[in-house]
Amino acid sequence: MFLKIQQKFQITLFIILLLPLARAQAESEIKIPAPPRLAASSYFLQDFDSGRILAERNADEVLPPASLTKIMTVYIAFRELSNNRLSLDEMVTISEKAWRTPGSKMFIEVNKQVKVEDLLKGIIIQSGNDASVAIAEHIAGDEQTFAEMMNQQAQRLGMNSTHFMNATGLPVPKQHYTTARDLATLTRAVIKEFPDYYRWDSIKEFTYNNITQKNRNTLLWRDETVDGVKTGHTEEAGYCLIASAKREKMRLISVVMGTKSKSARANESQTLLNYGFRFFETHKLYDANTELTTSRIWKGASDTVSLGVAEDLYVTISRRHYKEMKAATSVDVKIMAPVEQGDQLGVVNVTLLGEAVSTVPLVALNTVAKGSFIQRTYDAALLLMK
Report the CATH number that the domain containing residue 366 is assigned in CATH.
2.60.410.10
Mean pLDDT of 222-237: 97
Q: How many CB atoms lie within 10 A of CB 315?
A: 22
Domain boundary among 254, 283, 312: 283
Sorting pLDDT into bands at 50, 70 and 90, what band is 30? low
Is there a single domain that holds both residue 344 and residue 199?
A: no
CATH number at residue 46: 3.40.710.10
pLDDT tens-digit series, residues 261-278: 999 999 999 999 999 999
What's 178's DSSP letter? B
What's 324's DSSP letter? G
Domain boundary among 248, 283, 318: 283
Structural domain contains residue 209: yes
Structural domain contains residue 17: no
Is there a single domain that holds both residue 50 and residue 138?
A: yes
Residue 264, φ and ψ in degrees, nearest 5: -65, -45
Structural domain contains residue 380: yes
280 has a pLDDT exceeding 70: yes
Q: What number of residues does the chain have?
A: 386
11 has a pLDDT exceeding 50: no
Structural domain contains residue 195: yes
Is there a single domain that holds both residue 121 and residue 257?
A: yes
Structural domain contains residue 4: no
Calculate the alpha carbon distances from 372 to 28, 52, 209, 341, 368 in Å: 59, 46, 72, 20, 12
Calculate the alpha carbon distances from 351 to 12, 20, 30, 223, 329 in Å: 31, 22, 13, 33, 12
Domain boundary among 283, 305, 338: 283
Structural domain contains residue 262: yes
Is there a single domain that holds both residue 184 and residue 225?
A: yes
Q: What pLDDT is attached to residue 269?
A: 98
Cβ–Cβ < 8 Å for 157, 135? no
Is there a single domain that holds both residue 70 and residue 139?
A: yes
Is there a single domain that holds both residue 245 and residue 196?
A: yes
The angle, 0 to 180 degrees and rounded to 10, between the axes of the packed helices 129-140 and 143-157 is 90
Which residues are 370's β-sheet partners? 300
Total of domains in the chain: 2
| Residues designated as active site | 67, 70, 127
Is there a single domain that holds both residue 131 and residue 242?
A: yes
Is there a single domain that holds both residue 98 and residue 191?
A: yes
Mean pLDDT of 16-26: 39
Q: What pLDDT is attached to residue 29?
A: 53
pTM of the model: 0.88
Q: How many CB atoms lie within 10 A of CB 183?
A: 29
25 has a pLDDT exceeding 80: no
Is there a single domain that holds both residue 241 and residue 335?
A: no
Q: What pLDDT is attached to residue 31?
A: 82
Q: Residues 6 or more apart from 386 whose CB is under 8 A from it?
A: none
Cβ–Cβ < 8 Å for 351, 326? yes
Structural domain contains residue 221: yes
Residue 311 is part of which domain span? Answer: 287-385
Is there a single domain that holds both residue 156 and residue 53?
A: yes
Structural domain contains residue 99: yes
Is there a single domain that holds both residue 261 and residue 341?
A: no
Mean pLDDT of 303-318: 95
Is there a single domain that holds both residue 74 and residue 215?
A: yes
Which residues are 348's β-sheet partners? 329, 360
% residues pLDDT > 90 (the chain)? 85
Q: Identify the burial level of 240 via C-beta atoms within 10 angstroms of its C-beta, where 0-12 means exposed, 13-18 middle and 19 or more buried.
A: buried
